[in-house]
Amino acid sequence: MPMLDVTIPDGALSAGAEQQLLARLTDVLLEHEGADATNAAARSVAWVFLHRPAQVFVGGAPESEPHYRVLVTVPEGQFDDERRGAMVAAVTEAVLDAEQGVRPRDPSRVWVFATEMPEGTWGAGGRIVRLADIAHFVIGDRQKAERYAARRLGRAPEPIGG
């Protein structure tokens, strides 16, 4: 159940490039959460909110080159340092690729913030949704979902061999 808040300055990308970027970011996030990006259930709970400011200011002055911000929010346990770092790198590359070489490729114009919501604080459908609930929705097996959540939340040892 990842959520992305993507800030793309108005006019920074063509409409087609923007649409492709948002789809790619969805895939990147699902993959780095450990989900199958082709799973329809997983995709149905991967939401992207697009923010399009007219201008971005850097150091208190209008910036001439677009600057992008991607806020990634996932349930607790979905990231470890490796997953988080790989996701940040992949998101940055995806944003720069979307510019299609129109501007100098400068990763410092892309900021990515990866946030995990503490277990028991994600609300959806009028109730608290826990990691095991999300995993159950996506994979359809309650016992596997419970084991997955326990492992990801550090509440059970990782089984030998996965």
Q: Which of 113, 98, 80, 87 is nearest to 29 (CA)?
A: 87
- Residue-level pLDDT at 158: 52
Please, are residues 88 and 114 in contact by the beta-carbon 8 Å criterion? yes
Residue keyed to tokens 């909110």: 49
Give all domains of the chain, ordered by start, each with its CATH number: 3-120 (3.30.429.10)
Record the tokens describing residue 138, joined without a space.
């996506």
- Residue-level pLDDT at 159: 55
- Residue-level pLDDT at 103: 95
Q: Indicate the pTM of the whole model.
A: 0.89
The rounded average pLDDT for each run of 10 residues, N- to C-terminus, in the chain (162 residues) is 93 96 96 92 95 95 96 93 95 98 96 96 94 93 94 71 52
- Residue-level pLDDT at 27: 96
